[in-house]
Structure 1
Amino acid sequence: MDFVRKWVQALFFLITNGYWNFPVTRGIYQGPLKVICSPGLNCYSCPAATSYCPLGALQQLMAGIRLALENGQIYVGFYVIGAMGVIGSFVGRMVCGWACPFGLFQELLHKIPSPKFDVWRPLRFIKYALLLFMVILLPLFAVDAFGFGQTWFCKYVCPAGTLEAGLPLLILQPGLRESLGLLFLNKLFILSFFIVWSVFASRPFCRTACPLGAFYALFSKIKLVKLRLNTERCTQCEACHAVCPMGVHFNESPDDMECISCLACSKACNFNAISLEIGGVPLSNQAPFRPEKAQLEQ
């Protein structure tokens, strides 16, 4: 199944970054496909991007609400919020494990031979703070003289934007290098930090600092596509603990907000206690459970 997931990840990368004429145009794609919401973290300004980043669009929405209301425009961006809500309510953080280009990038880095370390679990709360403050509150309330806010996370933090847009555009448009300053160096440092961390730990950006992952995690208990634990089959062998790239102990918290439904735990379970389901309907038939086999293999 991991082989299938890698192909799905590659497919989503090609779909959301399918504009390969950028070496000729030396700019970003601005065609009709740009109104489509990418499910994963994929920078709007990436030269190859054919869709927009939901996180950037949410910040733009928050940044423009006050200006719109002051001008008598009742604009709340139902398309942006609706698109993210539909994705979240259907698959939740499964997007992170199956459709996010930056998630794939971290997984590939983690394959580099090196000592491996876990991520301190309390750090997961940082991404919720970033979602609340840098994606929602600051763009909404920290406005300029014209009443317009900034895309704080995109501008000051997002390592995916630096990797997918900042660096490629500097190569395509050398004239931009003259305007580089501390802001870009700061973002380059953040990108470098997560690149190095990804070699030694599994998906550190997803686990600690991704506001989009935090948004999708809010749907963990109500999403239609999810992993289900059969407590009658589970022997508490904890085989699922060691293989989870997000540090989830699935047998202890089946609805964990960190779960990206990568199916690694399902593959590791020898007793078919973990299954993928859509709306409560399992996608595969489970083999009969034999208690004597469970006792033998423990």
Structure 2
Amino acid sequence: MASINRRVVQLASTIIGNGYIEGFAKGTIYRGKLKSVCFPGLNCYSCPGAYTSCPIGSLQSVAAGFKHQVSLYVIGFLMLIGTLGGRLVCGWLCPFGFFQEILYKIPSKKFKLPKLLSKFKYFFLLVFVLLLPAFLTNEVGVGLPYFCKYICPAGTLEAGIPLVIKNAALREAIGILFYWKLGLLIATIIFSMLMSRPFCRAVCPLGAMYSLFNSVSFYRMNVDKTKCTKCNECNKNCPVGIKVYENANSPECIRCGKCIGKCPTNAVKSCFITHKKGRFNHEKVLDAGSGADNCH
């Protein structure tokens, strides 16, 4: 996986997921059959080019429709993607993650994101995506997609700005909420130039959801302890600041593979564990820290 050009995959994912050119030209939203399918990364439903739906937006919409309603399709979809690759989507397919990585390449003084902030994304998942839409509702039990409406900068970038530019009626309806969201987007852009993937690490509820599967997914990172010298090159080159030799399958790992290419002793590898016996043996290796390598 790491040998594949990740930038090409990220660019292709962004283009394919937002390839409805007519939407951008006319300031409209695609409403065909593909809209019932979720995109694996954070990609706004209302983006003029989006063929599919955002899983976080879909999860909120269903929860907000009637009290205590749950979308088994969306939950099942997220569990499937998480079980297969954990946060592999974050590192390879998510358009907004790609956008942040581009911003980080802009020359500027760089800072480290405080580790405590990485816990905040679970707060946004629990409160703004799950609890508020389900329980903060009107008299007939209908709530709002709170994360999308009040926080998500990806929605502002991908949907809000393009639609306002092309749609005169929307421009006339601009209010304080639009400027609030625009301010959050600007803040995200500034922080993304100074810190690596700040939104992914501190805010993104989709990343929080996928992170729960990193330790059990079929796609795994592995460190050969017999080769690892703890030179810390993995940590120096990791976009989310992980010491891979301490926890190769950390919830924060986005499986980008940078550590694999930078390891001077070729101690770090990744692979899909595709059968039960191999998966069981791989778990024993991780638990024992023996350094045996199941990734070829």
**Please, what TM-score do these two structures have when normalized by structure 2?**
0.90
Contact 1:65–1:76 (8 Å) recurs in 2: no
Where in structure 2 are the equivalents of 1:200-219 lying within 5 Å? 200-219=194-213
Q: 1:154 to 1:23 in 2, by over 3 A?
A: closer
Distance 1:146 1:49 in 2: 31
Query: Over the residues paired in the alignment, what is the CA RMSD in angstroms?
Result: 1.6
Q: Which whole-Å deviations, capped at 9, do the CAs of 1:120-152 have from their partners, x for residues lacking one?
A: 111001110000000001111101111011100
Distance 1:232 1:211 in 2: 37
SS for the counterpart of 2:21 is: coil
In the other structure, the counterpart of 1:164 is 158
Match 2:171 to one of 177, 181, 188: 177
Which consecutive unaligned segments of at least 5 residues does structure 1 have? 70-74, 286-298
1:134 aligns with 2:128: yes
CA positional deviation for 1:283: 8.7
1:117 aligns with 2:111: yes
Q: 1:24 to 1:109 in 2, by over 3 A?
A: closer
Contact 2:211–2:252 (8 Å) recurs in 1: yes
Give the letter aligned to residue 201 of structure 2. Answer: R
Q: Which whole-Å deviations, capped at 9, do the CAs of 1:154-208 have from their partners, x for residues lacking one?
A: 0000000000000000011022122111111111111000101111111010011
Which consecutive unaligned segments of at least 5 residues does structure 2 have? 274-278, 283-292
Contact 1:2–1:264 (8 Å) recurs in 2: no
In the other structure, the counterpart of 1:101 is 95
Give the letter aligned to residue 132 of structure 2. Answer: L
Percent identical across equivalent pairs?
A: 45
Contact 2:27–2:162 (8 Å) recurs in 1: no
Contact 2:63–2:71 (8 Å) recurs in 1: no
Q: 1:255 to 1:176 in 2, by over 3 A?
A: same
CA positional deviation for 1:284: 6.1
Distance 1:229 1:23 in 2: 45
Q: Which whole-Å deviations, capped at 9, do the CAs of 1:238-264 have from their partners, x for residues lacking one?
A: 111100001111111112100001010
SS for the counterpart of 1:134 is: helix
Contact 2:65–2:142 (8 Å) recurs in 1: yes
Distance 1:53 1:5 in 2: 22
In the other structure, the counterpart of 1:32 is 33
Give the letter aligned to residue 203 of structure 1. Answer: R
Match 1:239 to one of 233, 237, 249: 233
In the other structure, the counterpart of 1:199 is 193
**Please, what TM-score do these two structures have when normalized by structure 1?**
0.90
In the other structure, the counterpart of 1:17 is 18
CA positional deviation for 1:25: 3.6
Task: Figure out how many residues of one structure are paired with residues of the other and give that number.
Answer: 278
